[in-house]
Amino acid sequence: MGPLIVNDIITQNTNFFLAFIIGIGFGFVLESSGFSSSRKLAGMFYGYDTVVLKVFFTAAIVAMLGMLFMSLFDWIDLDMVYINPTYLWSTIIGGVIMGAGFIIGGFCPGTSFCAASIGKIDAMFFIAGMFLGVMIFAEVYPFLEDFYKGSFRGTPTLSQALGLKDGIVVLGIIFTALGMFWVGEWAEKKFHREEY
């Protein structure tokens, strides 16, 4: 039963090796899907290319269904799966900053490294800016610590926050994804670009 490390099914070193292999596979899929193109990623925000929305919504649904069914079959104990703690306001502000960087630069952290690995100079500048931002944040963190930790909400899941069963929430997200896929198709027709 998973999680694998917590239950001593695999060692920490094996986990790092598997993460390395999965990371290479993930990068290969990103590049094969064209996600190393800043125009393709920015197209999500301008409406002319919503492949990013479709791919990541699909990935989230597959992961949720996988975790849900593995839990039902007692293959994984969801209570032992690590959930990042929620710091509400710092998360919202961090999300706005990252979203703005995504729109302006055309990359997220993962796709920037994917693009840099094939020699894209704009991605290299994006990565440099990302590291600069991390260093600046680390330097000013002592001044921001009270704000950063001031809105701690624990580690709630969406189903806990809504007071619903996991299966109902997953079903709701599937219907939301289908609606977003429809909106994405509509946007691609409305804001279509011949070449980008």
For residue range 144-185, list pLDDT tens digits in order.
999 988 889 899 888 988 999 999 999 999 999 999 999 999
Assess whether 50 and 10 both reside in one domain. Answer: yes
Is 107 a residue whose pLDDT tops 80? yes
Assess whether 90 and 67 both reside in one domain. Answer: no
Classify 8 in phi/psi space as left (phi over 0), alpha (psi -120 to 50) or beta. Answer: left
Report if residue 179 sits inside a domain: yes
User: What pLDDT sits at residue 176?
Assistant: 95
Q: 15: domain range?
A: 1-79+164-196
Assess whether 75 and 88 both reside in one domain. Answer: no
Report if residue 141 sits inside a domain: yes
Report if residue 190 sits inside a domain: yes
DSSP assignment of 61-89 equals HHHHHHHHHHHHTTSB-GGGS--PPPBHH
Assess whether 16 and 57 both reside in one domain. Answer: yes
Assess whether 16 and 44 both reside in one domain. Answer: yes
User: What pLDDT sits at residue 172?
Assistant: 95
Report if residue 159 sits inside a domain: no
Assess whether 69 and 8 both reside in one domain. Answer: yes
Q: Which residues contact 122 (CB under 8 A, 6 or more apart)?
A: 38, 105, 106, 107, 115
How many domains does one find in the chain? 2
Cα 26 to Cα 194: distance, rounded to the nearest angstrom: 29
- Which one-letter DSSP state was computed for residue 192? -
Confidence of residue 15 (pLDDT cuts 50, 70, 90): confident
Is 38 a residue whose pLDDT tops 90? no
pTM over 0.75: yes
Assess whether 111 and 183 both reside in one domain. Answer: no
Assess whether 92 and 63 both reside in one domain. Answer: no
Assess whether 64 and 99 both reside in one domain. Answer: no
